[in-house]
Chain A
Amino acid sequence: MGPEMSQFLSGMKKTMEQVVLPNLTDRFAQEQAGIVAATLGFLEQIHDKVFHYELLENHLYRNLLNEVIVVLDGATPPQHEVAVTLAALREHVVSDPTGSDMHLRPYHYVRSANETLKEHLCTLIRNQPELPGPVRASFDALLRPFFRELEVRERAWVKPLGFDAKADELPDIEELLYCDGKLRLPDAG
């Protein structure tokens, strides 16, 4: 179906930059129109990767949380927020097990699942101080490498917005998402 989204976006950006902006006289309006043009430029670069980004996040959060369930299992009494969260996570894993047809789901389903997973992970992190020392250390050992990858992925995503002074040192989001022409899903078999 044409035109492609990128053509819509590129047309709007060009019109904004070459027709609207030069003919605006109000400084506030000029400033805002410039921001709209910059936003359109950003959307041009990422619009076709949004679904795969969420799919990758879903895969990575589920991998991490599967390991977290094992590490934290039995670490607190059953009524504790950690135990309650683990139970909810297990339910989540059962409804959408690893290797399920998540890629066939609508975008908002995947996004919703990711937000739920993030909330559960944050609840567990918030309860870290109440975990026994060795359990906490094991949990921490799972989080550190996950955080390093997450930080690079997010910076690569927002790189086209132009705030990053070290943008040249960062990979493009495309490099992180794809390998051999396919979405890169670590440990997916």
Chain B
Amino acid sequence: MANFDFRMPAEMTVHTPTQHLRAAPTADWIAAIRGRFPVESHLDEVLTRKLQNRAQPVEHRTDFDNLAERLGAWLRRVTGQPDLELARLARLSGGASKEQFTFDLTWRRDDGARATRKLILRMDPSESIVETHRLREAQLLRAMWGEVPVPEVLWVDATPASLGHPFLIAGFLEGTVQPEGGKKASGLGMYFEPRLRDGLKDQFVRHLARIHRVDWRNRDLSSYDRPEPGTLQGNAWSLGVWERVWHEDVLEEHPIMEYAADWLKRNMPVVEKPVVVHGDYRSGNFMYTDDLRINAVLDWELAHIGDHHEDLSYTASEILGCPDERGTLLVSGLLPRAEFLARYRDHGGLPVDEDKLFYFDVLNAYKMAVIAVATSLRTAHGRRTHLDAMMNLLSGFGYIAISKLQHLLDDAPRAAQRDLRKQFG
């Protein structure tokens, strides 16, 4: 059998000095990029760790032969229960950002009773399509417990010390994420048949309105920076993190992205009332039971405190939608945009400003392009995930996001004129 050499050709997409620095960041370059963009402190921590790790070109391995032993040892240590038993560890399919496993754990609960429960382990790969913080995810899931259906978080280790990568352990929930025939990468633009739409759409909107009304100031969200109401701060962080990620990860520059970043800075609105923003609220990120009850809102890793318009625009964005049988585009494959916004208001959501929605249409297209063109290709380029083939494929979605961005920027002067007409009657 031939002895294949899997090392990357030196010239592969590393042609310019900037590309070299992105591929093998120096301490000075990391310091410069950290100083350039405003981001929340815990996000700065994970992004900086990503860059420091990138300087060590280690291919991500998908061999988890001894994961059960290491996980079991960690659980015995944190619970103080040497007789705890871990069984049936298995990798889950689906998802794009984290490695996920299910396992059965038998241990003594707080009430002293010994019980077996199926749990899920969410673990960072070496580099993820979205680099996020497991403590933030755990804190937010706990803050949302009892407000909207979410998995119960049991343990979290936001450091790579124990299993080699940060992880979170939560209760496993049975349900459907992707309906039969709706298979799409990461659930993007999924199709729901009419019976499913009728059963799910109102809950889908109601939970979003509820998320935006949660009094986050009274929860333990210590890993979240708190933007001042009535300032640009929250939106500056939202743009800052994606602009930083673009410049850290992109394989080759793109002029539309640079142009868009400039537009977003010049047109940034203030955040009147900061709320919990889910950050990835769409089909593929909720689960439902056979009797059509949404039993979990998933994937909170992009959540932050910011402007509710960011969620509304993202959820309603054209490229995450799916047309119905007559060709009408449906928000997340569930309901038309006007109905989505009307139901959001009916469920006590915050006031909706169409002009702010336009700003966030641009920001969200920018964000999707950062994720699917810059980071997805960067992780595959460095062989840093368990999904390298999928990461390459996702760039197809990213270029559609750049196309959307271009159309929005073309429409921006007309949108601004609409603003003036509104302002001056």
Contacts and interface: CB of A to CB of B under 8 A. Distances in A.
Interface of A: 26-28, 30-32, 35-36, 38-39, 42, 108, 111-112, 114-116, 118-119, 121-122, 125-126, 128-129, 143-144, 146-148, 150-152, 154-155, 157-158, 161-165
B19 A115 contact: yes
Contacts of B185: 35, 163
A169 B255 CA distance: 24
B106 interface: no
Given A35-B389, A111-B15, A119-B18, 19 more contacts: A39-B393, A108-B15, A116-B15, A119-B253, A125-B255, A125-B262, A126-B258, A126-B262, A128-B262, A129-B262, A143-B259, A144-B410, A147-B410, A150-B256, A152-B403, A158-B399, A161-B395, A162-B396, A165-B321
Contacts of A148: 406, 410
A111 B258 CA distance: 20
B189 interface: yes
A35 B392 CA distance: 10
A118 B251 CA distance: 11
B351 to A, nearest CB: 31
A147 B252 contact: no
How large, as a class, is the contact surface on chain B?
A: 35 or more
A155 B399 CA distance: 6
- Which 10 A/B pairs are nearest by Cβ-Cβ distance? A161-B396, A112-B15, A158-B396, A27-B93, A151-B406, A122-B258, A122-B253, A125-B258, A118-B253, A28-B93
A163 B406 contact: no
Nearest to B389: A35
A129 B407 CA distance: 22
A148 B403 CA distance: 9
Prevailing SS type, chain B contact patch:
helix
Interface in B238-280: 252-259, 261-262, 266
A115 B252 contact: yes
B121 interface: no
Given A28-B92, A112-B16, A121 B393 contact: no
A161 B393 contact: yes
B21 to A, nearest CB: 12
A32 B15 contact: no
Interface in B1-16: 11, 13, 15-16
A115 B41 CA distance: 32
B151 interface: no
A125 to B, nearest CB: 4
B399 A122 contact: no
Contact of A39 (B255, B389, B406): B389
A28 B100 CA distance: 10
Nearest to A38: B393
Nearest to B372: A163
Contacts of A158: 395-396, 399-400
B216 interface: no
B255 A121 contact: yes
Contact of A108 (B11, B94, B321, B396): B11
27 contacts: A31-B94, A39-B389, A42-B393, A42-B396, A111-B13, A112-B16, A114-B252, A115-B16, A115-B19, A115-B253, A116-B15, A118-B253, A119-B18, A121-B255, A121-B258, A122-B254, A128-B262, A143-B255, A143-B259, A150-B255, A151-B406, A154-B399, A155-B399, A155-B400, A161-B395, A161-B396, A165-B189
